[in-house]
Structure 1
């Protein structure tokens, strides 16, 4: 699986052997994000509904070196097709779901080009770090839902 970095975005795709509704249900439940987070930074959800809707907020305990808390805001939502959120810096984490014969193609995107600090994010090498995290997240989703036979 290869991640692409271009135009202020990092993205990769993988297929899981589950219908989009099942994948979306997991992605839309912030209390389960730690189950598939490939970055290792999501510790637990401290606030938020069990099924996100457009405009909802949810708080997360994170750890990148030191522990901290962050509040995310749902900025895109098309049930069973797309969900995205951002925090105060405005970079967007997006998941797009496409039905395919084997199940669902999941595309995760880190869109830092729309953030408040795109040049700083690039200078700090976050796109490269997030490329690995995205690949690891997609692998974890395959672990949860299964992957098509090669």
Structure 2
């Protein structure tokens, strides 16, 4: 079966705590969104934690709203959320020479085969890979890189 994930990594010139502070603040997600779909926060806590829900105004052609729930969380190391779909957007942080290695993953491994093929027909995971690449570039621009 075709891959059910997309992933990418970069090293940014910031501590894991600095990067995590940005990821855990949904009011700032539009600043780093590599897809161009995240417009603004609709409702959210100031800082995400396991189980937090946050709603975002989105635009992909038409405007819409999506509510996410944090489903994985380890302060300064890991955060992942999902909406009504079963796929997750996950960020893993680890100290690295020159700062922090940020790995972003789109994970659709929880979908049963028939539902995953619907995502494939919509262009995933290739679409997710382009979004990840864009987000990692945004993080590099925000924090700088080791290079």
TM-score bin (small chain)? over 0.9
Partner of 1:45: 41
Q: 2:87 and 2:47 mapped to 1: Cα distance? A: 22
Partner of 2:145: 147
Residue of 97, 105, 109 corresponding to 1:109: 105
Q: 1:86 to 1:115 in 2, by over 3 A?
A: farther
Q: 1:31 and 1:134 mapped to 2: Cα distance? A: 19
Q: Kindly indicate whether the alpha-carbon contact (under 8 Å) linking 2:35 and 2:134 is maintained by their aligned counterparts in 1.
A: yes
Q: Kindly indicate whether the alpha-carbon contact (under 8 Å) linking 1:91 and 1:115 is maintained by their aligned counterparts in 2.
A: yes
Q: Which runs of 4+ in 1 moved over 3 A?
A: none
Q: Kindly indicate whether the alpha-carbon contact (under 8 Å) linking 1:12 and 1:107 is maintained by their aligned counterparts in 2.
A: yes
Residue of 134, 137, 143 corresponding to 1:136: 134
Q: 1:68 and 1:42 mapped to 2: Cα distance? A: 10
For 1:50, what is the secondary structure of its paired residue?
Answer: coil
Shift of 1:65: 0.6
Partner of 1:85: 81
Q: Which consecutive unaligned segments of at least 5 residues does structure 1 have?
A: 1-5
Q: 1:81 to 1:131 in 2, by over 3 A?
A: same
Provide TM-score, normalisation by structure 1.
Answer: 0.92
Aligned length: 144
Provide TM-score, normalisation by structure 2.
Answer: 0.94
CA RMSD of aligned residues (A): 1.1
Partner of 2:25: 29
Say whether residues 1:97 and 2:93 are aligned partners: yes
Shift of 1:113: 2.0
